[in-house]
């Protein structure tokens, strides 16, 4: 049902609203976000409404998943715009806690997920998955949804959250939603807002390079060669550094190659364009 979503900022208020729905026999989906919403987030709200009576979206720029040198302060924020978009998409409730609500003085717990969080983002951003797993565990415990939805654009994050929810026996089904892309194929991301007009044109090369690399992997070309070619093409277009172009198993995140890769492989990319770090992944 479209309309202005109610905004709550405390865990008791969130729980009271969810309890009222539960008392009426209704179900709940949660879409955790850091705000700066785009069509990718809204597609998750739509998926949530297919799975539950109500969708709760959280908006919280989580300091625990940013390293001190990263873009926590610069991360785009705009609660009014986000609330309007969520309302149009049919979201009923927004949970927008402050930092003190999520991390009160003395907060000392961190959720660490081994295995799937090891490579790629785990190597490049060592603080990231601990911060994500901690905040998502808290959000799911605070809200208690039947299902929670996360975009496949952050595919490794989705695997980390699935593993965490299973390992901690959280009674929430974790569902991935397909990556939503701009007309030229660039994966939607809140951080695309950092790109200059020129950089935005160059960024469109990422899906082109990835699509061709995936075709080469499907044709049986060795992963090592495909990855090196893709990195060279991105660098030649002005990307740098290219943090990685790597094939990994889409369930275990085990590194694949150097030879041809088989079924279940996924190709991951992370590359800087000026001050913007773009990530994407494609199923092989």
Q: Which residues are catalytic?
A: 41
Q: Which of 162, 87, 111, 121 is nearest to 248 (CA)?
A: 121
Minimum distance between the CB of residue 161 and ligand PAF, rounded to whole angstroms? 7
**How far is 121 from 217, CA to CA, in rounded Å?**
22
135 binds ligand PAF (CB under 6 A): yes
Q: Could you tell me which residues come within 8 angstroms of residue 236 by beta carbon, excluding any fewer than 6 positions away?
A: none
In this structure, are residues 222 and 258 in contact, taking their beta carbons and an 8 Å threshold?
A: yes
Q: Which CB atom, from 216 or from 277, has the smaller least distance to ligand PAF? A: 277
- Interacting span for ligand PAF (CB under 6 A) from 1-9, 67-75, 150-158, 226-234: 150-158
Q: Which CB atom, from 128 or from 244, has the smaller least distance to ligand PAF? A: 128
256 binds ligand PAF (CB under 6 A): no
**How far is 63 from 86, CA to CA, in rounded Å?**
23
Query: By CB under 6 A, what part of segment 15-74 binds ligand PAF?
Result: 32-34, 62, 65
Q: Which CB atom, from 157 or from 281, has the smaller least distance to ligand PAF? A: 157
Which residue in the set 28, 45, 132, 284 belongs to the binding site for ligand PAF (CB under 6 A)? Answer: 132
Tokens 């625990």 map to which residue?
A: 64
Helix (H) or strand (E) holding 15: helix 11-23
Helix (H) or strand (E) holding 33: strand 28-33
Which residue in the set 86, 136, 271, 279 belongs to the binding site for ligand PAF (CB under 6 A)? Answer: 136
Minimum distance between the CB of residue 71 and ligand PAF, rounded to whole angstroms? 13
Minimum distance between the CB of residue 32 and ligand PAF, rounded to whole angstroms? 4
Q: Which CB atom, from 32 or from 177, has the smaller least distance to ligand PAF? A: 32
Minimum distance between the CB of residue 206 and ligand PAF, rounded to whole angstroms? 18
- DSSP string of 97-113? --HHHHS-TT-------
In this structure, are residues 284 and 246 in contact, taking their beta carbons and an 8 Å threshold?
A: no
Minimum distance between the CB of residue 60 and ligand PAF, rounded to whole angstroms? 6
Q: In a 3-state reduction of DSSP, which class is residue 84?
A: helix
The site that binds ligand PAF (CB under 6 A) totals a number of residues, namely 11
**How far is 95 from 8, CA to CA, in rounded Å?**
5
156 binds ligand PAF (CB under 6 A): no
Minimum distance between the CB of residue 150 and ligand PAF, rounded to whole angstroms? 6
Helix (H) or strand (E) holding 173: strand 173-177
**Please, which residues bridge with residue 148 across strands?**
30, 174
Which stretches of 54-121 are assigned E, i.e. beta strand? 54-59, 93-95
- Interacting span for ligand PAF (CB under 6 A) from 101-109, 129-137, 141-149, 196-204: 129-137
5 binds ligand PAF (CB under 6 A): no
Q: What is the binding site for ligand PAF (CB under 6 A)?
A: 32-34, 62, 65, 132, 135-136, 150, 154, 157
């Amino acid at each position: 049902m479209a309309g202005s979503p109610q905004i709550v900022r405390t865990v008791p208020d969130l729980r009271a609203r969810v309890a009222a729905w539960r008392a009426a026999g209704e179900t709940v989906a949660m879409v955790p976000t850091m705000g700066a919403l785009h069509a990718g987030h809204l597609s998750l709200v739509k998926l949530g409404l297919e799975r539950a009576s109500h969708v709760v979206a959280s908006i919280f720029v989580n300091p625990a998943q940013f390293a001190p040198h990263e873009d926590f302060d610069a991360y785009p924020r705009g609660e009014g715009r986000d609330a309007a978009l969520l309302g149009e998409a049919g979201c009923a409730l927004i949970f927008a806690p402050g930092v003190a609500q999520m991390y009160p003085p003395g907060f000392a717990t961190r959720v660490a997920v081994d295995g799937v969080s090891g490579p790629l983002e785990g190597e490049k951003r060592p603080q990231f998955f601990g911060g994500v797993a901690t905040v998502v565990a808290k959000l799911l415990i605070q809200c208690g949804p039947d299902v929670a939805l996360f975009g496949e654009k952050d595919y490794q994050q989705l695997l980390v959250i699935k593993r965490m929810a299973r390992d901690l026996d959280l009674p929430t089904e974790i569902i991935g939603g397909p990556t939503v892309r701009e007309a030229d194929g660039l994966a939607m991301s809140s951080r695309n807002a950092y790109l200059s007009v020129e950089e935005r044109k160059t960024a469109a090369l990422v899906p082109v390079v990835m699509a061709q690399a995936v075709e080469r992997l499907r044709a049986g070309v060795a992963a090592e060669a495909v990855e090196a070619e893709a990195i060279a093409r991105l660098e030649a277009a002005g990307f740098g550094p290219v943090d990685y172009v790597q094939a990994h198993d889409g369930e275990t995140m085990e590194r694949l190659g150097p030879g041809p890769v088989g079924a279940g492989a996924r190709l991951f990319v992370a590359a800087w364009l000026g001050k913007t770090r773009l990530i994407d992944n494609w199923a092989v």
